A = this chain, B = another copy of it.
Amino acid sequence: MRDAYHEELDSIGDGLVEMARLVGSAIGRATTAILDADLKLAENVIEADQKVDELQHDLEARAIALLARQQPVATDLRIVVTSLRMSADLERSGDLAQHVAKLARLRYPARAVPRDLHATILEMGQLAQRLMAKAAEVIITKDVDLALQLEQDDDAMDLLHRTLFQHLMDDRWKHGIETAVDVTLLGRYYERFADHAVSVAKRVVYLVTGEHADEIQAELQSEIQTVPGTEGA
C-alpha cells in the first residue's frame, strides 16, 4: 500500500514537471510570436494552454484523492499541499504566456513591440523561459542552491522591467499610447511569470528545509554582512 502511495506521490511530481515544461515552452513561443507577429504560433500557444489546465485539474484531483485515501501526515502531507500550490502557480504562468500570445494575435499583422524594444522583450522572454526551466529542475532535484539562484535571476527580470519603463518614460518615446499600453502589459506579464517560477522554487525550498526561502536568504545575507570589508557591497 505504501508503495502505491509513493508511486502516486511521484506521479504528482511528474505532473508538476510536465506543467513547468509546457508553460516554459509556451512563454518562449509566445515571445517569438509577439516579436515576429506570427499569428499561427500565437494561436498555437493560446490553444496549448488547455493542456496545462487539464494537467492541473488532473493533478489536483489526484492530490485530493491521495489525501482522502492515504491520509498522509508530516512531510508527506506537506508535499501534497505544496504540490497543490505549485500547480496553481504553474497554471497561472500558463495564463500569462497565453496573454502574451493573445496580444500578438490582437495586433496582427502589426507588431506589438517596437524595434528598439525588441532586444529587451526578447531578453525578458528568454529569462522567463530559463527561470521556468530551472524551476522544473528544482522540482526534480530538490536542489536548494539552485532554488535560491532563481531569486537572483528574478532580480535580473526586475532590472529588465525597469529598463522597459525607462524607455516608456523617455521623452523621446515616439510609438504612441497604444504601444505604450501594450508594452506596459507585456512587462507585467513577464514579471508575474517570473514571480510564479520563483514561487515554485521557494515552495520546494520550504519542503526540503522546512524554512521559507526568504529566511534562508536573510541568514546568508547576515553571514555575508558580518565579514569585515564587505559592508555596503
Do residues A64 and B81 form an inter-chain contact, with CB atoms below 8 A?
Answer: yes
Query: Which residues, 152 to 181 on A, are CB-close (under 8 Å) to B?
Result: 165, 168-169, 173, 177-178, 180-181
Give the 3 A-B residue pairs with the shortest CB-CB distance, closest first: A71-B71, A184-B184, A68-B73
Contacts of A178 in B (CB 8 A): 168-169
Contact with B along A110-145 (1 / 0, CB 8 A): 000000000000000000000000000000000000
Do residues A168 and B185 form an inter-chain contact, with CB atoms below 8 A?
Answer: no
Among B71, B81, B168, the residue within 8 A (CB) of A177 is B168
Query: Which residues, 76 to 123 on A, are CB-close (under 8 Å) to B?
Result: 77-78, 81, 84-85, 88
A contact set with B: CB distance below 8 Å: 64, 67-68, 71, 73-74, 77-78, 81, 84-85, 88, 165, 168-169, 173, 177-178, 180-181, 184-185, 188
Give bound CA distance, A78 to B84, whole Å: 13
Give bound CA distance, A184 to B73, whole Å: 45
Give bound CA distance, A17 to B77, whole Å: 26
Contacts of A74 in B (CB 8 A): 68
Among B64, B180, B181, B185, the residue within 8 A (CB) of A78 is B64
Q: Given known contacts A67-B81, A168-B178, what 15 new A-B pairs fall within 8 Å (CB)? A: A64-B81, A67-B77, A68-B73, A85-B88, A165-B181, A168-B177, A169-B177, A169-B178, A169-B181, A180-B180, A180-B181, A181-B181, A184-B184, A184-B185, A185-B188
Distance to closest chain B CB from A133 (angstroms): 24
